[in-house]
Amino acid sequence: MSDSGSVVAAMRRVRSFVLRQGRMTDGQRRMLEKHWLHFGIERQDDVLDLGKLFGRSAPQIVEIGFGMGRTLAQMARDNAEQDYLGIEVHQPGVASLLRNLDEEAINNVRVIRDDAVEVLEQNIAAHSLAAVHLYFPDPWPKRRHHKRRIVQPAFIDLVVSRLQAGGVFHMATDWEDYAHHAMAMLSACPELINCAGERQFSPRPDYRPLTKFEQRGQRLGHGVWDLIFERCTDVIDG
């Protein structure tokens, strides 16, 4: 097994999510049935040709765990010159995003319903992405569950291997402990540069919409931490 394969195999033994499908409404079920063929991608073993899927050459961005999809839909609508691949395991969230894409006539998003780690490893070409977004991942707050947090050295190495030189990894979390955990992990990667300066958190960029959840949290005095790291431009791609 290759080094890359060993890394991903190790990650698969401890998943960062628990599959809670929840109850799908009739409307969500109809959205899946009606729009999956257009927006959805069934996983195969080969690398995706995203340019062919979108019918153009454009910056390609992956969002991991888009939840109900409101942020992803808004970013895609506001940045029509970019193409987005959303990865989510929960069907109600996928259905909700498909509804938003249809209602707002957004065509620069495609969706995969699967494990993001496996998708990145098996289906995304090396050094092909302009950005990877990870917004509000499960913080697994109990210490004994910290091993389930998706941001670990092996995951960071995988993300870096899929970013173009100058590509960006952007994480946001409302758990301060997780923010500092991620800061330590990302700062230790020699192929990444902190866009805000060493050990500094970034202000929320304009392209990341302020969610209702964040607005409510701000009123209650809760914090949100953004971490934006760029892949070094002087790395020689192998």
Which residues carry out catalysis? 138
Q: Which residues pair with 233 in a beta bridge?
A: none
DSSP-based three-state secondary structure for 170: strand
Burial 119-147 (b: 16+ CB within 10 A, else e): bbbbbbeebbbbbbbbbbbbbbeeeeeee
Q: Which of 169, 127, 130, 123 is nearest to 150 (CA)?
A: 169
Cα–Cα distance between 102 and 40 in angstroms, integer?
Answer: 12
**Interhelix angle for 153-162 vs 116-123, to 10°?**
40
Q: Which residue has the tokens 């791609």?
A: 237
Q: Is 70 left (phi over 0), alpha (psi -120 to 50) or beta?
A: alpha
Q: Is 67 left (phi over 0), alpha (psi -120 to 50) or beta?
A: left
Structure tokens at 108: 């620069």
CA angle 139, 47, 30 (to 5 degrees): 65
